[in-house]
């Protein structure tokens, strides 16, 4: 059984990830509707959930077209890269005790590696399209993602210092008593912002920026290839939410005062759900910054914050060691 566990879990994640992303498209639009005082898709089926099926059918039956001026091989390769990379990222997420595909001692670095590989999808998609808007979108995403990857990695150093391990299971175990969202509040804030920038969702969706770049890097994409980009984006959203819960909100542990009286997986998915809702709220509430504002926010605000966080965390840890 334990031999088969990773295989079963991998298949579950594969199917669940795709289905979850599909449902998220509808859920996000409904939730945005609530916050922007309108309905959203509410016609098809109960609460409009049939919209998911309608969208799927539409995307599946669209002509799978490659523009004649595009670099054909790279054009087709680009959307698959983001889906594969994000799916690989789920391999190290600990959903519950023992319920994970692989517990490597470099789990956190593996996650960072996979998110950094996802950049290629946007970059190559924008380049292969051979289109000015797509190229601009790709260029923006390259600069944005390379910059925010730095803060994303640095913001997690505090968590690693406190738990003394890169293994995600060890990090969750270290939060049995107190979650890291209190002691690592600076790291949490930076990680959330960098996470949105990495998954290029709305406040930071400058690679797409439909007001100025039509649709940015996926201007030339349609049908299932476009759907792959969307799937990758929602998988990225789910992966970042899972990581926020794992690293800062105690993973599978129940809330501190209430205790662990419900199954661990329930607590984990409940927290992930809340984080996803928070991301949708951010999308509804915050306008898109200008490109130079985005970059100066990163290098002039986020970088100093993460460095201060690392220094203070290290000092406090050394001081506590001296006291004990």
Residues that bind another protein (CB under 8 A): 71, 73-74, 77, 104-106, 109-110, 112-114, 116-117, 119-120, 123-124, 126-128, 135, 138-139, 142-143, 145-146, 149, 153, 166
Residue with smaller CB distance to another protein, 51 or 115? 115
Q: How far is the CB of 259 from another protein (least distance, A)?
A: 33
Q: How far is the CB of 166 from another protein (least distance, A)?
A: 6
Residue with smaller CB distance to another protein, 51 or 144? 144
Q: How far is the CB of 110 from another protein (least distance, A)?
A: 6
Q: Are 195 and 240 in contact (CB under 8 A)?
A: yes
Q: Are 249 and 271 in contact (CB under 8 A)?
A: yes
Residue 99's beta-bridge partner residues?
A: 96
Residue with smaller CB distance to another protein, 36 or 296? 296
Q: Are 51 and 41 in contact (CB under 8 A)?
A: yes
Residue with smaller CB distance to another protein, 97 or 164? 164
Block residue for tokens 């994303």: 152
Q: How far is the CB of 125 from another protein (least distance, A)?
A: 12
Residue with smaller CB distance to another protein, 123 or 228? 123
Q: How far is the CB of 150 from another protein (least distance, A)?
A: 9
Residue with smaller CB distance to another protein, 148 or 252? 148
Phi, psi of 17, deg, nearest 5? -65, -45
For 17, 107, 117, 323, the CA distances from 88, given in Å and listed in that order, are 11, 11, 10, 42
Q: How far is the CB of 244 from another protein (least distance, A)?
A: 19
Q: Long-range contacts of range 199-202, CB-CB < 8 Å, 24 or more positions apart?
A: 199/233, 199/236, 199/237, 199/239, 199/240, 200/122, 200/141, 200/144, 200/145, 200/233, 201/233, 201/237, 201/279, 201/283, 202/282, 202/283, 202/286, 202/288
């Amino acid at each position: 059984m334990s031999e088969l566990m990773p295989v079963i879990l991998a298949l579950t994640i594969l199917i669940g990830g795709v289905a979850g992303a599909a449902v998220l498209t509808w859920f996000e639009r409904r939730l945005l509707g609530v916050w922007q005082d309108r309905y959203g898709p509410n016609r098809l089926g109960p609460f409009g959930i049939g919209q998911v099926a309608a969208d799927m059918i539409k995307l599946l039956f669209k002509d799978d077209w490659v523009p004649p001026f595009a670099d054909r091989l790279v054009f087709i390769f680009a959307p698959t890269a983001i889906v594969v990379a994000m799916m690989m990222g789920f391999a190290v997420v600990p959903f519950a005790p023992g319920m994970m595909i692989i517990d490597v001692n470099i789990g956190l670095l593996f996650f960072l590696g996979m998110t950094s590989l996802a950049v290629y999808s946007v970059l190559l998609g924008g380049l292969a399209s051979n289109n000015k808007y797509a190229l601009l979108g790709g260029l923006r995403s390259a600069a944005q993602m390379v910059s925010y990857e730095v803060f994303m990695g640095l913001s997690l150093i505090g968590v690693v210092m406190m738990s003394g391990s890169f293994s995600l299971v060890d990090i969750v175990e270290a939060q049995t008593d107190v979650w890291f969202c209190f002691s690592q509040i600076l790291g949490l804030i930076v990680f959330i912002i960098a996470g949105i920038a990495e998954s290029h969702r709305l406040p930071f969706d400058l690679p797409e920026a439909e007001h100025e770049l039509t649709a940015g890097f996926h201007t030339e994409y349609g049908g299932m290839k476009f759907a792959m980009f969307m799937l990758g984006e929602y998988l990225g959203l789910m992966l970042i939410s899972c990581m926020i819960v794992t690293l800062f909100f105690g993973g599978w542990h129940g809330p501190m005062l209430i205790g662990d009286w419900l199954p661990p997986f329930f607590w984990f998915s409940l927290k992930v759900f809340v984080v996803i809702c928070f991301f949708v709220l951010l999308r509804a509430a915050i306008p898109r910054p200008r490109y130079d504002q985005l970059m100066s926010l990163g290098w002039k605000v986020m970088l100093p914050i993460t460095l201060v966080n690392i220094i203070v965390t290290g000092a406090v840890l050394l001081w506590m060691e001296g006291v004990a």
